[in-house]
A and B are shown apart, each in its own frame.
Chain A
Amino acid sequence: MTDVSTDPDAPVVLELLRGVAGASRDPDVVVAELLVKLVEEHSPVRVDEILATLIRDAHPD
């Protein structure tokens, strides 16, 4: 898995995606938000953690 924490475009892109997402937590940008969060935390992206989050997000309980 690529570590995206050193991405030079990350700050602008993250601001943009977050701006597009707005406060509505639009499902369209949930994946991007998740990547954003991991970038901000400067932690290597862990596939299982992301997918587990998405799976939990896919069911109401």
Chain B
Amino acid sequence: MHIQIETSPVGPLRVIATLPSARVAMLEGLNGIGKSLAVRLLELCVGEMPYRTDSAAWQSLCVGLGEFSVTLSALDGAQAVHWEGDSRDWAGASLADGGVTFRTMTIDGRSASMDDIRRLVRVHRLSGDEDLVETLSQQADDAADRLRRWFRRHADAETGPLHDLESRMGEVSELLGDWTLDRFASLGRAVTEAHDRLGERARAVAQLRDRREALFEAQRIRRQLVQLETDLPSIRAELESVDSEIAELRTELERNQHELTTLAGQVATAGPVVRELRNARRTLERNHSNLAHALDGLARRAAEADVAPDVASIEAAIAGVQQDLDEWLALRAEYDQAPDMRDLIDGSVASLSQAETSGLGMQVFIEDPETDLQLTVSESRHGMLVRREILEGQPPPPEAEELAAAIAAAERRLALLGDVKARAIEAARFRRLVNDNQDRVDQALRAFDPDAVDRLQELEAQRRQRDERVLELATRRATLVQQAGGVASSATVEQTAADLSGILELLGLDADQVPDELGTVDAALNAANAAQRDAEAHHRQLRRDLARAEADVRRTTAVLSSEYWNWLVEALPAGAVPNVDDQIDQQVASLEAARDAADRVVDRLGDHRGQIAAVEQGLRGLARRLRGHELETRRYVDRLESWLGDHYSEWFNIPRVRAELLPAADGPIYVDLHTAEVRWTEDGAERSRPLEAFSSGEQAFAYTRARLAILDEEENPPANRLVVLDEFGAFIAHDRLAALIAHLQDRVVDHPTDQVVVILPLTRDYASLAENSVGPDAARYSELERQIEDRGYVLQELVP
């Protein structure tokens, strides 16, 4: 097999152009001419990886070698294998994704795969500076390298299988939410407690309002008492005066009436005239009585309403009250929109119920891409019902309550004013009738004797004037009676004083303390109202939180029943699968159990990443310890020691290795990595030897023979094999080179397809040897001296 390597390094690298084609040859060369690099490049060409990819040597090769070509010719089974490539293609590439790549790989001019090439040719490099301990250490490092590559491909946090598993579990965790039965129950208790606290606040407010009302009442009664005590005497006096005048007027009216009747009878010329006057006067008296009664009622109600008893004044008062009422009603709608919202919800729920009946329950009804919120028709309807329940139980704000009281008072005043107005209209109607009747009486009088008419008319005018005065006094009397509250008597004054005493006793106050206490209660009521508002807000927020929690849980339960999550539902235990018909607490408990299972899976997936890294660290730690350094890790070390020990033991028990290293051993050989020993039995006696003892003296030579022997165990050996023994300078120092060469020459018989090259540093001065030799030796040394001068190394074929 001829080997030709052509390179044009772009960095400070050199590679020798050829290796000898003899079955056993020796290559001696100066340092730095690229002997080992040529062998490593050949290893890469046949699919081996002689470098650690994180090593400086590998990085240097990738950057510095550049374009190259390698040709193997005169092979068994083929004429030529050819590679072309550029080491810069390998920089940064993931070797896991197909290994080192070449731009061209051919066998006899046809494109070939690496498997095709490996069936034809392989390259093995045995390094003389790698003793048994170093070989075992490198095996541990190699396993760690493979694990790291595995980690990068399959356990990366951004991509790969483990990432995909974690992403899917992320979906599961997001779906299952974070509600626990404890948290859910705690929220329920918080709602109850907030409700109780709100009740306490409301009762405190009610008590303060009751006390304030009592204080107002005390003030009112006290004012009434003062009024009774100060104003009653003058009212009484005026009433007596009015009553006296009315009595006098009525006496005069009777006398006047008698004279009118007598005179009318004396002057009457005809019966019909007298009857007409009598009828007209009777009608007038009836309507006059009606007018007096109407004015009495009007005066009382007008005094009660504190309004002048005329229609214009009454209508002005009604307009003012109505304006206030309209404003307050609008303000109440701003403070308390719950009633309107309840109406809106009732209408919407009815439509959604109908949609559910039509089979649209699971259709998305509300979607907000910003918050990623989706609600189905059923969920929306349920949410609306929850909201309605909240609104139903939500007391109106204090401002709205105060407005409601004002509105009720205004409505009562409007009703009173309406009654006053009706009475005023009624009185006006009777007034018109009375006037009409007066005209009729005047008309009847004109039918009498003209001589008597003047007196009759005079008497009639007096009567009319007195009637008017009586009406005026009666109206005034009604007003006075109303002003005195209809209780204008000494007994009422005493009762009012008793009422005041009673309410003050209930309040625990003296009359003089009432104003100050009212200020204190007002302040306390403001504070209590604020506390009630806070309690309401807190209660409302908790109710909302609870409603959302319930909606979350129900939505999750509904989503879990979809086909998409079948695999999860089937994998979960029965108690961890919620059902839409379950009570909400049961659904929460099921979801919590499901999440516990999911959390354990998430933890295990996350742990896996750390575990792979820990196994890698364990392998590297054991490699370090084999080399005599600190372990620097503990996790998995015991199991890795056991596993690697078994692995190394298998190597020691290979018959050819046993024969070279422990030829006298009986039974199995064990490698104990914890003690770094090899143990075996020999003639029934237990024996042991430190691993490092295999790295010196005759054992090192035996180890090299063992490694060569291992090559013979290779499965499916190729038709062509290059075996390079590199870095064997130490063998020269210990005078074992001749024995090694002899061993290589001896094995040629059994391995005729192997091509073996021993690479050595140049240690001999061939110029001096040529000068000090004669005959053929002098000529041979001269030739070697020429090769050194020409290319920096010499080749000697030991077995052609």
- Contact between A7 and B96 (Cβ–Cβ < 8 Å)? yes
- Contact between A16 and B165 (Cβ–Cβ < 8 Å)? no
**In the complex the two chains form, what is the Cα distance from A4 to B598 in whole Å?**
25
Contact with B along A13-57 (1 / 0, CB 8 A): 100110110100001111110010000000001011111111110
- Contact between B600 and A58 (Cβ–Cβ < 8 Å)? yes
Residues in B with CB closer than 8 Å to A48 are 168, 567-568
Shortest CB distance A2–B (Å): 5
B639 within 8 A of A: yes
Main SS of chain B's interface residues? helix
- Contact between A56 and B640 (Cβ–Cβ < 8 Å)? no
Shortest CB distance B46–A (Å): 15
**In the complex the two chains form, what is the Cα distance from A33 to B615 in whole Å?**
14
- Contact between B169 and A30 (Cβ–Cβ < 8 Å)? no
Residues in B with CB closer than 8 Å to A16 are 143, 146-147, 615, 643
Shortest CB distance A56–B (Å): 5
Given contacts A12-B143, A20-B615, A31-B604, are A2 and B154 in contact (CB under 8 A)?
yes
**In the complex the two chains form, what is the Cα distance from A48 to B566 in whole Å?**
10
Among candidates A10, A22, A30, A49, residue contacting B604 with C-beta atoms closer than 8 Å: A30
**In the complex the two chains form, what is the Cα distance from A13 to B612 in whole Å?**
10
**In the complex the two chains form, what is the Cα distance from A9 to B611 in whole Å?**
18
**In the complex the two chains form, what is the Cα distance from A52 to B569 in whole Å?**
9
Nearest chain A residue, comparing its CB with the CB of B612 = A32
Among candidates A13, A58, A61, residue contacting B601 with C-beta atoms closer than 8 Å: A58
Nearest chain A residue, comparing its CB with the CB of B168 = A47
Residues in A with CB closer than 8 Å to B647 are 19
- Contact between B96 and A8 (Cβ–Cβ < 8 Å)? yes
Residues in B with CB closer than 8 Å to A35 are 154, 161
**In the complex the two chains form, what is the Cα distance from A54 to B640 in whole Å?**
25
- Contact between B604 and A20 (Cβ–Cβ < 8 Å)? no
**In the complex the two chains form, what is the Cα distance from A8 to B612 in whole Å?**
17
- Contact between B150 and A55 (Cβ–Cβ < 8 Å)? no
Shortest CB distance A42–B (Å): 15
**In the complex the two chains form, what is the Cα distance from A25 to B642 in whole Å?**
16
- Contact between A28 and B611 (Cβ–Cβ < 8 Å)? yes
- Contact between B643 and A55 (Cβ–Cβ < 8 Å)? no
B260 within 8 A of A: no
Shortest CB distance B412–A (Å): 70
- Contact between B168 and A13 (Cβ–Cβ < 8 Å)? no
**In the complex the two chains form, what is the Cα distance from A52 to B612 in whole Å?**
22
**In the complex the two chains form, what is the Cα distance from A36 to B108 in whole Å?**
40
- Contact between A20 and B601 (Cβ–Cβ < 8 Å)? no
- Contact between B571 and A9 (Cβ–Cβ < 8 Å)? no
Among candidates A4, A7, A31, A55, residue contacting B608 with C-beta atoms closer than 8 Å: A31
Given contacts A9-B146, A13-B146, A16-B147, are A51 and B601 in contact (CB under 8 A)?
yes
Shortest CB distance B548–A (Å): 28
Residues in A with CB closer than 8 Å to B172 are 51
Shortest CB distance B519–A (Å): 68
B570 within 8 A of A: yes
Shortest CB distance B406–A (Å): 64
Among candidates A8, A52, A58, residue contacting B99 with C-beta atoms closer than 8 Å: A8
- Contact between A51 and B168 (Cβ–Cβ < 8 Å)? yes
**In the complex the two chains form, what is the Cα distance from A9 to B144 in whole Å?**
11
B538 within 8 A of A: no
Residues in A with CB closer than 8 Å to B162 are 31
**In the complex the two chains form, what is the Cα distance from A32 to B611 in whole Å?**
9
**In the complex the two chains form, what is the Cα distance from A31 to B165 in whole Å?**
10
Residues in A with CB closer than 8 Å to B640 are 20
B268 within 8 A of A: no
B605 within 8 A of A: yes
Contact with A along B162-186 (1 / 0, CB 8 A): 1011001100100000000000000
Shortest CB distance B159–A (Å): 8
Nearest chain B residue, comparing its CB with the CB of A45 = B161
B607 within 8 A of A: yes
Among candidates B149, B639, B646, residue contacting A9 with C-beta atoms closer than 8 Å: B149
- Contact between B611 and A59 (Cβ–Cβ < 8 Å)? no
Nearest chain B residue, comparing its CB with the CB of A11 = B146
**In the complex the two chains form, what is the Cα distance from A46 to B87 in whole Å?**
37
Residues in B with CB closer than 8 Å to A13 are 146-147, 150
Nearest chain B residue, comparing its CB with the CB of A14 = B150
B572 within 8 A of A: yes
Among candidates B143, B567, B611, residue contacting A51 with C-beta atoms closer than 8 Å: B567
Given contacts A16-B643, A32-B611, A51-B571, are A2 and B147 in contact (CB under 8 A)?
no
Residues in A with CB closer than 8 Å to B605 are 31, 54
Shortest CB distance B576–A (Å): 8
**In the complex the two chains form, what is the Cα distance from A26 to B168 in whole Å?**
24
- Contact between A12 and B146 (Cβ–Cβ < 8 Å)? yes
Among candidates B153, B164, B570, B601, residue contacting A54 with C-beta atoms closer than 8 Å: B601
Given contacts A7-B153, A12-B143, A20-B639, are A55 and B568 in contact (CB under 8 A)?
yes
Residues in B with CB closer than 8 Å to A12 are 143, 146
Contact with A along B296-326 (1 / 0, CB 8 A): 0000000000000000000000000000000
Q: Could you pull out 25 A-B pairs where Cβ atoms are within 8 angstroms?
A: A8-B99, A9-B146, A12-B143, A13-B147, A16-B643, A19-B643, A19-B646, A20-B615, A20-B639, A20-B640, A27-B604, A30-B604, A31-B162, A32-B611, A45-B164, A47-B164, A48-B568, A49-B567, A51-B165, A51-B172, A51-B567, A51-B601, A54-B601, A55-B568, A58-B597
Nearest first, the 7 A-B pairs at minimum CB distance are A19-B643, A52-B571, A31-B608, A55-B571, A58-B600, A48-B567, A9-B146
Chain B residues packing against A (C-beta within 8 Å)? 96, 99, 143, 146-147, 149-150, 153-154, 160-162, 164-165, 168-169, 172, 567-568, 570-573, 576, 597-598, 600-601, 604-605, 607-608, 611-612, 615, 636, 639-640, 642-643, 646-647
New A-B pairs, 7, CB < 8 Å, besides A2-B160, A22-B642, A51-B165: A7-B96, A16-B643, A31-B607, A47-B165, A48-B567, A50-B165, A55-B597
